[in-house]
Amino acid sequence: MKLKTKILLGVTAALMPFALNPASSDAAEVKVGVVLTYSGGAAHLGKQIDQGMQLYMDSHPEAFGGHTVKLIKRDSKRPGGDIAKNAVQELITREGVKILAGFMFSPNAMASAPLATQGKVPMIIMNAGTAWIPSLSPYIARVSFTMWHSGYPLGKYAGTELGCKTAAAGYTDYPPGKDSRNAFKTGFETTGGSLIEDIPMGGPREVPDFTPFFQRVKNAKPDCFFVFVPAGNHATAVVKTYEALAMADAGIRLIGPGDITQDTELQGMGKGAIGMITMHHYAADYDTPQNKKFVAAWKKAYGADSTPDFMAVGGWDGMAAIAHAVKTQNGNVSADGTMAALSGWSFASPRGQISIDADTRDIVMDVNVHKVVQRNGRLAIEVIGTVPQVKDPCKELKIGKCGK
């Protein structure tokens, strides 16, 4: 079976028909609206998700059951929510999409959720991690992660395994940052630990000067410094500032979710990253057959120097979920049919076995303890522990908006 691809570019959209068995009279065409950041400073992150989606499509044409999936792409540009909301409105009313996908930033997913409910169009969240997003619409399912998947167990790990009695938290001042901080604090306090500094560190659009925030932490002398910032340039700036202020020499351990040791940023972080402990669900260095196959396919498609990260896996897994929904419904895609197909869906992902919890419509997966090491002249991620098949702790504990 040969894949036929046609690309049409507009000012804000790219239409990409993905044809399977185009000659078959029984083949249906399913329009999927993709809302991602394709321009601006975070465009390289949106590209990871986009390429992950495309790679799954190219690698698994049989998964769609002989039907055609047409991706209609829109650029959400920034995490403010307004542009994404307008894009979703147009995708639903003008383009008639049957499924929405992407959503890199939490504010964009939050702003779009009411439209998914009103239009009865399922949203597949491929990155946005604020824990309570699925509660905003019965038509949301998430294949990525929540901030609590890593933050809560890392808080417990910091107290029990790293021996931290005191900690500081620094976070980007928007919903995922606050959510991540709350997750870490909740987990850390179960061990008897105390959060002695709590520092919002600017917004997500521009990388701030982290120096005054980090100096405040250095002066407070906590055992651990938990940091959440958006993946990308923010993360590299965090590690560079930590090294410049010699915080490791001061006995302060830098920890956080895997966003701050993102695969595509890791090599540029320098020696200050060595020894960092993070918790996350994916790294390109995972030594498993499923991941090795994925990374090899990625490098073949996008170049030997290209590396997939957790956002790429979100796109890959999200497209696998869409393929399952299309095939299960034999191309006759409805909102309720899609949500039923995704309820309890499980998949052998490059990150390991995943599933969508039938009650919360959120991801269940292994969460791993990562340590940054130097191996063969490059920085690498070493897995030193695993918390198996984690359901979102925020919902399990019914904390705040997660308990509604």
List the domain range (segments joined by +) for residue 89: 4-145+287-361
Residue 16 has pLDDT above 90, yes or no: no
Residue 348 has pLDDT above 60, yes or no: yes
51 shares its domain with 152: no
Instruction: Answer yes or no: is pLDDT of 18 > 90.
Output: no
CATH of the domain at 256: 3.40.50.2300
Give how many domains the chain has, as a whole number.
Answer: 2
Q: Mind listing the pLDDT tens digit for each residue in 353-394?
A: 999 999 999 999 999 999 999 999 999 999 999 999 999 999
Q: pLDDT value at position 8?
A: 33
Confidence of residue 6 (pLDDT cuts 50, 70, 90): very low
One domain for residues 319 and 384: no
Confidence label for 2 from pLDDT (cuts 50, 70 and 90) = very low
Query: Is 332 in the same domain as 234?
Result: no
On whether both 370 and 237 belong to a single domain, the answer is yes
Show the 3-state SS of the chain. Answer: CCCEECCEECCCEEEEEEECCCCCCCCCEEEEEEEECCCCCCHHHHHHHHHHHHHHHHHCHHHHCCCEEEEEEEECCCCCCHHHHHHHHHHHHCCCCCEEEECCCHHHHHHHHHHHHHHCCCEEECCCCCCCHHHHCCCEEECCCCHHHHHHHHHHHHHHCCCCCEEEEEECCCHHHHHHHHHHHHHHHCCCCEEEEEEECCCCCCCCCCHHHHHHHHHHCCCEEEEECCCCHHHHHHHHHHHHCCCCCCCCEEEEEHHHHCHHHHCCCCHHHCCCEEEECCCCCCCCHHHHHHHHHHHHHHCCCCCCCHHHHHHHHHHHHHHHHHHHCCCCCCHHHHHHHHCCCEEEECCEEEEECCCCCCEEEEEEEEEEEEECCEEEEEEEEEEEEECCHHHHCCCHHHHC
The verdict on 316 and 333 lying in the same domain is yes
Name the band, by pLDDT with cuts 50, 70 and 90, for residue 9: very low
For the whole prediction, is pTM greater than 0.85? yes
- What is the reported pLDDT for 205? 85
Co-location of 72 and 139 in the same domain: yes
Whether 41 and 104 share a structural domain: yes
| Domain match, 139 and 224 both | no
The confidence band for 20, taking pLDDT boundaries of 50, 70 and 90, is very low
pLDDT tens per residue across span 160-186: 999 999 999 999 999 999 999 999 999
Same domain for 39 and 184, yes or no, is no
Residues 122 and 56 in one domain: yes
* Same domain? 252 vs 396: yes
Report pLDDT for 318: 99
Q: Does residue 55 surpass a pLDDT of 60?
A: yes
